[in-house]
Amino acid sequence: MGLLGGNNIKFFLKTKMGGTPFTDPVSLEIFKTLNWFVTDNISDADFIVAHNHKKLLPTALLYSKKNHLVWTNEPRFDVTFKSEVRLPFGMSKINIMNIYSNDVFWNNLHFLSSYHFDNCNNLGIDINKPLKELTKTELLSIGKQHCIAALFTNTITQKRKLIKAGIDIDLTKKRCEYAITGHKRKLLHIYGNKWPIGYARDNSGYGFEKNQPWWIEKLQILRDYKFNLCFENTAHPYYVTEKIWHAIYAYSLPVYNSFNSTIYETFPENSFIDAHLFKDEHALFDFIEAMSDDEYLDRLNACIKVMNNSLEIKGRSYAKNANDVIKKIVDRLTNT
């Protein structure tokens, strides 16, 4: 059931939709040019939006003749692995646009200097501030620890499997296992919540008691370390968040995981340290422990070149990305 023709199309937000085109001021202005507007009256809406299909389902059944859309850029907000959920008795369907539908992420730069489509939030990365490559003299003068920083919550005891096509694409448990091994080897310092006593040095700014954006302290911490263990929480093509960019922006070489990723479309080989290339965490930490300053600089400066090029690309395509995602939303709903 597609949207009917008309001068004004109205959408109702069933759940909080922060960091999406439905709340981002830049995106809302683009919607307005198409005569699409947010409404507070669900009965008056042409379509209803939520970040999770289970949250939307009761409303979709109640308003079965309206259009319904799930839209989220967070991999755990909705784990539907198909593009639509059919309702019974010939009712309208729920359209799914999430990271698994391949129309929410389509390049590796969505979280560079913006929180995806929250274009008012640059996550602490100035799009107009390219990075200077480091010399060996500058590296030594900075005095970074030949050590790895890991900044994330401990989820080791949680049931975090996420099976897609028979493969577990969750990386949260794996990165915790790596952090624990690195900590025991005295090569890694942990910052984050819910770690056993003696593991974490601080909660890394993720606690509610710190009255500042979390990325401010994160970047400050990373500037003291040569390396940053920065696996994504979920392995999926084009799901590249701020993690790898924050590491580079703080001159900390990313220890990333390319599993099920598209990261090599943006980064060359032998730039970031790819944990997926090592047989286990011990082999990875042996490699990092033995790394010379010359190899470190070669890799870090290769990452810096990528970041500067990516900042330029993102600057040119900032508005285009917002237009593209809105076109995808409009096409999905009008062709339903």
Residue 295, SS3? Answer: helix
pLDDT recorded at residue 6: 54
pLDDT recorded at residue 5: 47
pLDDT-derived band at 92 (thresholds 50, 70, 90) equals confident
Claim to verify: residue 154 and residue 26 sit in the same structural domain: no
pLDDT-derived band at 210 (thresholds 50, 70, 90) equals low
Residue 113 lies in a domain: no
Domain of 45, in residue numbers = 9-104
State pLDDT tens for residues 44-64.
999 999 999 999 999 999 999
Boundary (domain end) residue, out of 55, 87, 104:
104
Residue 326 lies in a domain: no
Task: Tell me how far CA of residue 233 lies from CA of 27, 278, 320, 321, in angstroms.
Answer: 26, 19, 27, 23
CATH number assigned to the domain comprising residue 190: 3.40.50.11660
Number of domains in the chain: 2
Claim to verify: residue 312 and residue 242 sit in the same structural domain: yes
Cα gap 266→309, rounded to integer Å:
10
Task: Tell me how far CA of residue 322 lies from CA of 25, 208, 317, in angstroms.
Answer: 11, 31, 9
Claim to verify: residue 83 and residue 168 sit in the same structural domain: no
Claim to verify: residue 295 and residue 181 sit in the same structural domain: yes
Boundary (domain end) residue, out of 104, 124, 157:
104
Claim to verify: residue 65 and residue 189 sit in the same structural domain: no
pLDDT-derived band at 205 (thresholds 50, 70, 90) equals low
To the nearest 10°, report the CA torsion of 24, 26, 30, 31. 20
Residue 313 CA, distance from chain mean position: 18
Residue 229, SS3? Answer: strand
Helix (H) or strand (E) holding 190: strand 188-191
Q: What is the mean pLDDT of residues 220-228?
A: 96
pLDDT recorded at residue 211: 73
pLDDT recorded at residue 90: 72
Claim to verify: residue 225 and residue 312 sit in the same structural domain: yes
**Residue 192: pLDDT above 50?**
yes
Residue 261 lies in a domain: yes
pLDDT recorded at residue 79: 96
DSSP code of residue 115? B
**Residue 213: pLDDT above 90?**
no
Dihedrals phi, psi of 331, to nearest 5 degrees: -60, -40
Least confident of 26-30, 144-148, 273-277: 26-30
Claim to verify: residue 236 and residue 304 sit in the same structural domain: yes
Claim to verify: residue 84 and residue 225 sit in the same structural domain: no
**Residue 13: pLDDT above 90?**
yes
Cα gap 210→207, rounded to integer Å:
6
pLDDT recorded at residue 212: 80
Beta bridge partners of residue 11, listed in sequence order = 38, 47
Cα gap 262→244, rounded to integer Å:
13
Which residue would you say has higher pLDDT here, 148 or 120? Answer: 148
State pLDDT tens for residues 231-241.
999 999 999 99
